[in-house]
Amino acid sequence: MMDAPPDMGPDEEYLDDPVLCMHCMEEVPWDANMCMHCKAPLNFIASTDPYQRIHAQGFILRTAAEKPRSWWTVIGIWVFALSTCGPVLAIALAQRRMSGFVNGIPPEVYAISAITLPWAVVAIRCTVNFFTWRATSRRG
């Protein structure tokens, strides 16, 4: 280890060195918690801070949906999507039995459009991306 100048502590001598994001390999500030380019979490603070934790989880889901590399990723996305959609539809159907229609529209339509449809799109996108990646990796 190089000796630090007397006015710098041992940890401060590397503050000017570039720090790279492990996901996109772009240079980021040394004190950043999230990569500015790909939004990947860079340290443990990104997964413990409540606001940044949302972004870290979003990064994980985006990466899984855009670049699935195994069947387990595809199955995991489908399980996550179905476990999210099932209870929402069950609550909507129960609400319909109790109160009927809301503004002339069945409650399950709200549930499908608000929660179920986006998760179905993510699951289908993950599956399509997996088969596309698999087909191109076999050719190349």
As a whole number of angstroms, the distance between CA 101 and CA 93 comes to 10
Do residues 88 and 110 lie in contact, with contact meaning Cβ atoms separated by under 8 Å? no
Domain boundaries, the chain: 1-66, 68-140
CA dist 8 and 73 (Å) reads: 46
Helix (H, G, I), strand (E, B) or coil at 80: helix
Distance from C-alpha of 61 to C-alpha of 64, rounded to nearest angstrom: 5
pLDDT along the chain (140 residues), means of 10: 52 68 87 86 82 84 84 89 77 69 66 74 89 78
| 122 Cβ contact partners less than 8 Å away, ≥ 6 residues apart | 61, 65, 77, 81
pLDDT at 127: 92
For residue 83, the model assigns a pLDDT of 83
3-class SS at 83? helix
pLDDT reported for residue 1: 45
- Map 113-136 to HEC letters: HHHHHHHHHHHHHHHHHHHHHHHH
pTM recorded for the entire structure: 0.57
pLDDT per residue as tens digits for the range 3-44: 545 555 555 655 667 788 888 889 998 888 888 888 888 888
Q: CB within 8 A of 43, min separation 6: which ones?
A: 33
The DSSP secondary-structure symbol of 36 reads T
